[in-house]
């Protein structure tokens, strides 16, 4: 039973026993979801992945904060410059699957819908494009590790379930980094798909 739980096939329910996991993994289409035709036409980047499934963002906070050192360096911020921080939890079919924290230069996005909980159709990238800083290139770095206690609690993952960490940086056509998005995914809830030409 512990092997099945570790593989994400079964889940323990306190006081009820061990059951076959009913949740269908989400196929994250890494390239299609970030295409300009996706967010540029007012669609959520998630719509490339979820088909007819139910996606909710049940926790959103937006704040202005001092930039962490690594973030400040990538965004090329001067000493004392702040970032707009957007923290979200995504729930698919009633199951928390992703925690995301985005960092954007506060001076760049000041007064825009990016500083609000609801960024509007097309999301953050569509708003950046309206500000003249639309992303044209993305870089994603992928790692895996065991979750912290806070992450395990927020994602409702069983003991022994690893998380996937994806750090995405969005760049303008001038090569300026305008967003860093640090994502923590429930590894048992995802299949990462990258489809590209040779």
pTM: 0.83
pLDDT at 190: 83
Place of tokens 């061990």: 18
Q: Which of 138, 139, 188 is nearest to 35 (CA)?
A: 138
Mind listing the pLDDT tens digit for each residue in 27-70? 776 776 667 666 666 666 666 677 777 889 999 999 999 999 89
Mind listing the pLDDT tens digit for each residue in 78-126? 999 999 999 999 998 888 999 999 999 999 999 999 999 999 998 999 9
Quick check: 4 pLDDT over 70?
no
DSSP track, 88-130: EEEEETTEEEEEEEEEEEHHHHTTSGGGSS---TTHHHHHHHH
* Dihedral angle computed from the Cα positions of residues 61, 63, 67 and 71, in that order, rounded to the nearest 10 degrees: 40
CATH number of 25-193: 3.40.1410.10
What the block records as the tokens of 111 is: 């007064």
Looking at 15-158, list the stretches that DSSP marks H as alpha helix, in order from N- to C-terminal side: 36-39, 47-50, 69-74, 106-109, 123-130, 149-155
pLDDT at 23: 60
Mind listing the pLDDT tens digit for each residue in 176-189? 999 999 999 999 88
Place of tokens 């992303």: 135
| Contacts of the segment 45-48: beta carbons below 8 A, 24+ positions apart | 45/123, 45/125, 46/90
Mind listing the pLDDT tens digit for each residue in 155-167? 998 777 899 999 9
- Sequence ranges of the domains in the chain: 25-193
Least confident among 1-15, 66-80, 112-126, 184-198: 1-15
């Amino acid at each position: 039973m512990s092997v099945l739980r570790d593989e994400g096939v079964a889940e323990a329910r306190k006081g009820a026993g061990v059951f076959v996991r009913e949740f269908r993994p989400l196929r994250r289409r890494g390239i299609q979801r970030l295409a300009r035709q996706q967010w540029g036409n007012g669609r959520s980047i998630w719509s490339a992945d979820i088909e007819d499934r139910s996606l909710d963002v049940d926790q959103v906070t937006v704040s202005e904060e001092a930039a962490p050192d690594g973030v400040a360096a990538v965004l090329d911020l001067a000493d004392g410059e702040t970032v707009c921080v957007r923290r979200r939890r995504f729930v698919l079919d009633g199951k928390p699957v992703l925690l995301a924290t985005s960092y954007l230069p506060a001076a760049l996005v000041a007064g825009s819908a990016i500083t609000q909980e609801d960024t509007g159709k097309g999301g953050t990238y569509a708003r950046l494009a309206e500000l003249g800083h639309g992303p044209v290139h993305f870089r994603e770095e992928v790692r895996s590790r065991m979750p912290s206690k806070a992450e395990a609690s927020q994602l409702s993952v069983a003991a022994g379930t690893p998380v996937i960490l994806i750090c995405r940086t969005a760049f303008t056509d001038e090569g300026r980094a305008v967003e860093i998005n640090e994502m923590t995914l429930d590894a048992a809830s995802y299949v990462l798909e990258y489809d590209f030409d040779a």
